[in-house]
Amino acid sequence: MSSHDPFDDLEAELTALGDLLDTPSPPPPDVAAAVRARLETPSPPPSDAAAVRARLETQPQDSARRVRRARWKVVAAVVLAVIAVTAATPQGRAAVARVLRFAGIELQLADTPPAPVRTTANLPGERPVAPDDLPALVKFPIRTPSELGAPDHATIADQDRVVSMFWPDGVRLDQFQGGVDPFFFKQLGPPWPDYVQVAGTSAWWIPGEHPLGYIRRQDGTEVPLRQAAPTLVWQRDTLTYRLEGAGTKERAVKIAESLR
């Protein structure tokens, strides 16, 4: 039996998450007090933790799968808790922007909704292509949601890094090789992003319209694009998917889970 402890993976991911969070330096006193108060909240009885570890030892494979499924729920809860504590103070509100990067997309959160974008712009180097030609033009596998069928048209942008598919009902699917450096950025305020799952993987549902932009990787310049509709963002393997225009969270998840 392997001695690998799934809790070690969770601890490593939470540690890595800390590097993605921008916080005031030094932290404002009232933020520190709020965090201290949360830390002083009584912990669950030790017997609960012992029971969990006992279950992991007796059913390692099943428990490891459950831990993997729950891991991003914990990460998401930590992110939202940090956002809530930080945004609750005047000093912290200035540090809320650029709080979260997820799968190559930067979510810039603030305590008020951002002003809408009135103009539109293309992605850098964007050009139309035939949907059937996409697999031969990019270096990553192209997937299409069976729930929608073949796209009406498609584009490639930024030296073939980003593929976009479009359907007549206004649905748009962007897919690209996700990584640490962000491609898209989204300026967000209330309503906040909602953590969901797509076929067992972590995802974020952005329920309101929001300004969407693109970050030029060469010099870090932010390129404002347009006002985006509610969007679902998720990652599969090393690829990031951004589904816009599905209408509801439930329909967006259904479309995303039909990706083939």
Domain that holds residue 176: 100-256
Are 24 and 114 in a shared domain? no
Same-domain status, 115 and 88:
no
**pLDDT at res. 99:** 53
Domain stops at, among 47, 63, 93:
93
Residues 114, 206 within the same domain: yes
**Number of domains the chain contains:** 2
CA–CA dist 203, 255 (Å, integer): 13
Does residue 181 share a domain with residue 125? yes
Residue 19 lies in a domain: yes
Q: Are 186 and 108 in contact (CB under 8 A)?
A: yes
Mean pLDDT, 10 residues at a time, over the chain (260 residues)? 49 49 46 47 46 44 47 48 46 49 86 91 94 95 96 95 95 86 87 92 94 82 90 92 96 97
- Picking from 93, 124, 149, the residue at the C-terminal end of a domain is 93
Do the bridges between strand 105-109 and strand 184-188 make them parallel or antiparallel, or are there none, so unpaired? parallel
Residues 198 and 71 in one domain: no
pTM: 0.64
Q: Could you tell me if 140 and 22 lie in one domain?
A: no
Predicted local confidence at residue 222, as pLDDT: 83
Q: Are residues 89 and 155 in the same domain?
A: no
Helices (H) and strands (E) in the chain, counts: 7, 13
